[in-house]
Amino acid sequence: MNGASILLHQGDLPENAIAADAEAVAIDTETTGLHPHRDRLCLVQLTDGRGTIHLVHFPPAFRRDAGRGPYPAPRLQALIADPAITKLFHFARFDVAMLETHLGVVCQPVYCTKIASKLVRTYTDRHGLKDLCREMLGVELSKEQQSSDWGAASLSNEQLKYAAADVIYLHRLRAKLDEMLTREGRSELAAACFSFLPTRARLDVGGWAEVDVLAH
């Protein structure tokens, strides 16, 4: 991953983990499953694009100590809610829902590389992160650890490397996708989709995940 360093933290970000002048932070999550209420948030990985990936681990004991309310992670919560920092995701809809459910904060503003890809890469139906990295950056991502046990008390080096790879390329992908959005005249449409994402995530959490509330 181009010599990037990976730092593992327990329960929260350390002070000054993200550069004070950071305009955007790439974020991803690892969970025990795909249901925000049933499944647990286990790991949040972040980078401001300057060579360091921070992994915030929430082991099983942390969840028990926190009870059923939001995790007590004040620095991470403040970053996610900071309106001056854009949060970059790939498939933001899921991550934003998990972060709001388990950290109790609304993630705004948001940029989703999967939505941007669907708006401009209309020549394909392959919009996974692996597909984007291969085509746009010439990088091959391994998805071997995608279905591993993220709820374990400790994570393997392979899991940590996999988690870091899911965020390290998002800044570069955003730059290339923004060029395509501008070229195709779809930047405003993308921005409108991004601004709706926290609401779409809230609908998912509230029980409307399979319902198109805008349909007839």
Tell me, what's the pLDDT at 70?
A: 85
**Rounded (5°) CA angle 190-98-2:** 70
Domain annotation covers residue 215: no
Domain annotation covers residue 216: no
Total domains present in the chain: 1
CA distance 154 to 59: 7
Residue 134 class from Cβ within 10 Å (0-12 exposed, 13-18 middle, 19+ buried)?
middle
Domain annotation covers residue 214: no
Task: List the one residue out of 87, 92, 106, 48 whose CA is nearest residue 197.
Answer: 92
- Per-block average pLDDT, block size 10, for the chain (216 residues)? 84 93 96 91 96 95 66 94 97 96 94 98 96 95 76 94 95 98 98 97 93 90
Domain annotation covers residue 134: yes
Tell me, what's the pLDDT at 37?
A: 86
166-182 b/e with 16+ CB inside 10 Å = b? bbbbbbbbbebbeebbe
Domain annotation covers residue 102: yes
Grouping H, G, I as helix, E, B as strand and the rest as coil, residue 90 is coil
CATH of the domain at 92: 3.30.420.10
Domain annotation covers residue 34: yes
Tell me, what's the pLDDT at 67?
A: 56
pTM: 0.93
Query: Which domain does 27 fall in, by range?
Result: 5-207
